Structure 1
Amino acid sequence: MVKFNHFNFNILDLDKSLDFYDKALGLKPVREHNAADGSFKLVYLGDGFSDFTLELTWLKDRTEPYNLGECEFHLAFHTDDYEAIHKKHQEMGCICFENPAMGIYFISDPDGYWIEIVPEKK
Structure 2
Amino acid sequence: MKFNLTHNNFNVLDLEKSMKFYEEALGLKEVRRYEAEDKSFILVYLGDGQTSHTLELTWLRDRKEPYNLGENEFHLAFETDDFEKAYNHHKEMGCICYENKDMGIYFISDPDGYWLEVLPKK
Match in the other structure for 1:84? 85
- Paired position in structure 2 for 1:16: 17
> Helix, strand or coil for the counterpart of 2:107?
strand
TM-superposed CA distance for 1:37, in Å, is: 0.2
**How far is the alpha carbon of 1:68 from its aligned partner?**
0.1
Q: Percent identity?
A: 66
Task: Kindly provide the CA deviation profile for residues 7-35 of structure 1, in whole angstroms up to 9, marking residues without a partner as x.
Answer: 00000000100100000000000000000
Partner of 1:117: 118
Write the deviation string for residues 39-88 of structure 1: whole angstroms up to 9, x where unpaired.
00000000000000000000001000000000000000001100000000
Q: Distance in 1 between matches of 2:3 and 2:40?
A: 31
Shift of residue 5 of structure 1?
Answer: 0.3
**Superposition map of 1:1-122 within 5 A:** 1-121=2-122
- Output the aligned Cα RMSD: 0.3
For the residue of structure 2 that corresponds to 1:15, the secondary structure is: helix
Give the distance between the partners of 1:3 and 1:87, measured in 2 at CA: 34
Q: Number of residue pairs matched?
A: 121
For structure 2, the 5+ residue unaligned runs are none
* Structure 1 counterpart SS, 2:4: coil
Structure 2 CA distance for aligned equivalents of residues 58 and 21 of structure 1: 15
Q: Give the structure-2-normalised TM-score.
A: 0.99
* Structure 1 gap segments, 5+ residues each: none
